[in-house]
Amino acid sequence: MRALLVFNPKATTTSGRTRDVLAHALASDLKLDVVGTEYRGHARDLAREATASGTVDLVVALGGDGTVNEVVNGLLAEGPGANVPRLAVVPGGSTNVFARDLGLPNDPVEATGVLLGALAEGRERTIGLGRASTEGLPDRWFTFTAGLGFDAGVVGRVEQHRRSGRRSTHTLYVNQAVRHYFGVKEHRRTGPITLSIPGLEPVDGLVVSIVSNASPWTFLGNRPVYASPEADFDADLDIFGLTRMSLVQTLRTIPQLLDASGSGPRGKHVVAYHDLREFTLHSQEPLPFQVDGDHLGERNQVRFSGVRRALRVIV
């Protein structure tokens, strides 16, 4: 079996020692190529080339959710199919939501042990993914989440700080979420987003719109956050939204997002749908857009679709 190990040398929690141990272990059983990313989008390019070559059976992504997302988009550049290599993930970022949603340890050394055991035993899972489409732009696959509006704005603020040299930490995300909340006062009561689901009446006035392909939606350290508790890799997409983001409503919603009972956020300003094959988010004005924690600029309209059994993953 031939494999490609793609690693992000700037990943938050990945050391050179971890990478070397993983590469040495994989090389004992596989014909392994090891390549570090050099620019944004490089992991996507490497995975696309691996798929097009027809000679690579497995691509291992060592890094955070951004690296994994790039690899997935490279693997599926021509869509799902039997010729697409399997994906394996070793978490190396600050949050690693996708890996943890798959049930993998958050520690890269422990996750490496799980990966080696799965390869030895032939364990894999075929999962569904989300796809976001914007007219005039390439489709973007996502593994666990996408968002238009508030949460994407927070992601954008964090990325600005990371470009200036700050490390991506949970404290940084919380601080930027608070700052962003007090910076978008005009959208707290009347949001610009409309949710359109085929066969149903449109839902207007969304302030927040979070699309989930799995649950938890994210993690604060080791604390899971549940926007759509029923979201699952074996179903289509879920969406959670709010039509009001007043201080009282926000303080009521935060504990519900952290509630591990599985009931999820609720209330008259909560919009929630489970297992949707397709829907569209429209905005009256350009809003920040993100997939898997990667800020992609601003959008007025995005169409989302769930694609079941899109990718084989080693677990």
Tokens of 173: 């995300």
Q: What is the pLDDT of residues 114-131, one digit of tens each?
A: 999 999 999 999 999 999
Q: Which of 71, 100, 122 is the last residue of a domain?
A: 122
311 lies in some domain: no
Structure confidence at residue 172 as a pLDDT band (50, 70, 90)? confident
314 lies in some domain: no
The sign of the torsion formed by the CA atoms of 51, 55, 58, 62 equals negative
Quote the percentage of the chain above a pLDDT of 90.
71
Is the N-terminal amide bond of 286 cis, ω within 30° of 0?
Answer: no
Mean pLDDT value of segment 222-231: 95
User: Beta strand pairing status for 218-220 and 223-225?
Assistant: antiparallel
* C-alpha span between 127 and 45 (Å, rounded): 22
127 lies in some domain: no
Q: What is the pLDDT of residues 184-198, one digit of tens each?
A: 655 556 789 999 999
Mean pLDDT value of segment 65-76: 97
Q: Is the pLDDT of residue 152 over 70?
A: yes
Q: Which of 91, 122, 153 is the last residue of a domain?
A: 122
Q: Does residue 114 share a domain with residue 149?
A: no
Q: What is the pLDDT of residue 14?
A: 67
Tokens of 162: 């990371």
Of the candidate ranges 3-12, 87-96, 174-183, the one whose mean pLDDT is the lowest: 174-183
* Residue with more model confidence, 231 or 16: 231
SS3 204: strand
Q: Does residue 80 share a domain with residue 22?
A: yes
* C-alpha span between 56 and 88 (Å, rounded): 13
Q: Does residue 174 share a domain with residue 87?
A: no
| Mean pLDDT, rounded, of the chain | 91
Q: What is the pLDDT of residue 168?
A: 67
Q: Does residue 239 share a domain with residue 172?
A: yes
Q: Would residue 128 be called left, alpha or beta, if left means φ above 0 and alpha means ψ between -120 and 50 degrees? A: beta
Q: What is the pLDDT of residue 178?
A: 82
* C-alpha span between 196 and 193 (Å, rounded): 10
Q: What is the pLDDT of residue 188?
A: 59
Q: Does residue 77 share a domain with residue 211?
A: no
Residue 17: burial class (beta carbons within 10 Å; 0-12, 13-18, 19+): exposed
128 lies in some domain: no
